[in-house]
């Protein structure tokens, strides 16, 4: 196809108005195109919480975790009857704390497309233990170690001797151990109205296991015959949370440095388990020869020994902050802080019932055959409390 056009000749040195207008328009078009290109490049480098499409991100962290102290309100050993003037608590009462525990966290994410990504994480804090003990030599003028309780048959405060000056020595030890772990899986999407911010939703699992044990030993002192009299009371608790969660993440980049923050709340069921066991080992009823085992210690007796389970509603929120540095385009070094809360857990020290019917326990009666009578005490009930854990972490993140 042929086209025709016409134009007029102007003197040299003068730009026709029509051509000048076209030139200016062309220049502004080029500038606009350049700005658009720059703007596009900037948008691509804008901070985002979403991994690039088809890209995997894997992270590994070392954790130092602190947990809320485990309540142990029951006095285990005293110098006298509870409530009497001058009586001191020598063991038990208050809380036990296992202090900082080491662990790790593994995390990963995958960019499915420009709008959706998958991510997940697993953390584990290994079992830690702490113990307290008190002892007496049993020699004349030594302090008697007394285990206090409320006698439901006599309806009064009472004690039993763990050591008795001039007759037998005694030792009592309490120990707390715990372990924490959890996992989650989420799907995330960016918020179009807020650059560098994304929402996520998913499922969460959390497990807290604890054991609180009480051990006593009351051997005779010479020249009495060598005997064995040891007791063990063990209170185990397990909390497993299963829930759904919703959260938000944000990120800020400044050259090679970056910072991220997230908050999430999980709602679901806390499956709580309480296990109680106790026994007496002694050779007192065999002429100080064969050691025999009898059911029941001091606080764990036939009326409350066993395993029980229930499920309660719980809320588990968590906040996290991270500061990182891009070592290479595919590897980051970062450090972080997390704090976790659970609204409903069972902890072992809270499960002790010091209201005792001593007729069901060889440890109290001192007879190899018991004839229980009276209330079924101690009882087993679920006494719940709140819980928190916080950790510092340092780790590496890889993209490929």
pLDDT tens string 112-126:
998 899 999 999 999
Is-contact 244 202, C-beta < 8 A?
yes
Range from 77-81, 116-120, 219-223 carrying the lowest mean pLDDT: 219-223
Backbone angles phi and psi of 184, in degrees to 5: -155, 155
Average pLDDT, rounded, for the chain:
89
pLDDT per position as a tens digit, 131-167 = 999 999 999 999 999 999 999 999 999 999 999 999 9
Residue 13 in this model has a pLDDT that exceeds 50: no
Q: Is 132 helix (H, G, I), strand (E, B) or coil?
A: strand
- Model pLDDT, residue 27: 47
276-296 average pLDDT score:
95
* Helical ranges in the chain per DSSP H: 17-45, 362-365
Is there a contact between 134 and 172 (Cβ–Cβ < 8 Å)?
yes
Count Cα neighbours of 303 within 13 Å in the Cβ-side half-sphere.
22
What pLDDT does 5 receive? 39
The confidence score (pLDDT) of residue 151 equals 97
Query: Which pLDDT band, with edges at 50, 70 and 90, does 194 fall under?
Result: confident
Contact 169, 138 (CB under 8 A): yes
364-398 pLDDT tens trace: 999 999 999 999 999 998 999 999 999 999 999 99
Mean pLDDT of 328-339: 96
pLDDT of residue 79: 96
What are the pLDDT digits (tens) for 94-117? 999 998 899 999 999 999 998 899
pLDDT score of 311 more than 70:
yes
- Is residue 19 pLDDT above 80, yes or no? no
Which residue reads 């109680």 in tokens? 276
What dihedral do alpha carbons 211, 308, 292, 142 form, nearest 10°?
Answer: 50
Tokens 């142990």 sit on residue: 72
The backbone torsions φ and ψ at residue 203, rounded to the nearest 5 degrees and listed phi first, read: -125, 155
What pLDDT score does 50 carry? 66
pLDDT confidence bin for 49, thresholds 50/70/90: low
Q: How far is CA 187 from CA 154, 184, 202, 277, 366, in A?
A: 61, 11, 6, 43, 62
* Cα 231 from Cα 291, distance rounded (Å): 12
Residue 44 has pLDDT above 70, yes or no: no
Peptide bond into 137 cis (omega under 30): no
Q: Which two tokens stand for residue 166?
A: 């001039």
Instruction: Indicate the range of 34-48, 278-292, 341-355 predicted with least confidence.
Output: 34-48
């Amino acid at each position: 196809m042929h086209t025709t056009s016409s134009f007029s000749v102007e003197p040299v040195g003068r730009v026709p108005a029509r051509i000048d207008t076209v030139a200016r328009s062309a220049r502004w078009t080029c500038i606009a195109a350049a700005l658009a290109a720059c703007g596009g490049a900037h948008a691509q480098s804008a901070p985002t919480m979403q991994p690039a499409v088809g890209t995997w991100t894997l992270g590994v962290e070392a954790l130092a975790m602190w947990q809320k102290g485990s309540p142990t309100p029951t006095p285990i050993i005293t110098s006298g009857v509870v409530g009497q003037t001058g009586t001191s608590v020598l063991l038990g009462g208050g809380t036990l704390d296992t202090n900082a525990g080491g662990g790790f966290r593994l995390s990963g994410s995958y960019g499915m497309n420009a709008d959706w990504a998958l991510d997940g994480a697993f953390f584990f804090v290994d079992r830690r233990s702490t113990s307290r003990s008190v002892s007496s030599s049993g020699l004349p003028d030594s302090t008697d170690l007394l285990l206090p309780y409320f006698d439901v048959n006599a309806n009064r405060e009472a004690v039993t001797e763990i050591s008795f000056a001039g007759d037998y020595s005694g030792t009592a030890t309490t120990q707390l151990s715990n372990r924490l772990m959890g996992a989650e899986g989420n799907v995330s999407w960016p918020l179009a109205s807020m650059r560098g911010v994304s929402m996520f939703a998913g499922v969460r699992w959390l497990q807290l296991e604890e054991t609180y044990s009480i051990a006593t030993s009351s051997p005779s002192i010479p020249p009495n015959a060598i005997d064995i009299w040891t007791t063990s009371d063990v209170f185990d608790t397990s909390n497993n949370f299963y829930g759904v969660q919703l959260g938000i993440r944000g990120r800020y980049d400044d050259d090679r440095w970056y910072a991220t923050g997230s908050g999430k709340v999980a709602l679901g069921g806390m499956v709580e388990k309480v296990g109680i066991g106790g026994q007496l080992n002694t050779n007192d009823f065999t002429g100080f020869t064969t050691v025999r085992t009898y059911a029941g210690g001091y606080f764990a007796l036939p009326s409350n020994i066993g395993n029980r389970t229930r499920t309660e509603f719980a809320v588990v929120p968590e906040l996290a902050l991270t500061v990182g540095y891009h070592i290479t385009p595919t590897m980051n070094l970062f450090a972080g802080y997390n704090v976790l809360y659970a609204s409903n857990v069972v902890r072992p020290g809270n499960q002790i019932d010091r209201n005792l019917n001593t007729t069901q326990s060889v440890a109290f009666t001192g007879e190899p055959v018991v004839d229980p009578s009276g209330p079924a005490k101690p009882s087993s009930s679920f006494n719940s409390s709140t819980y928190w854990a916080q950790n510092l972490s340092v780790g590496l993140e890889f993209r490929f």
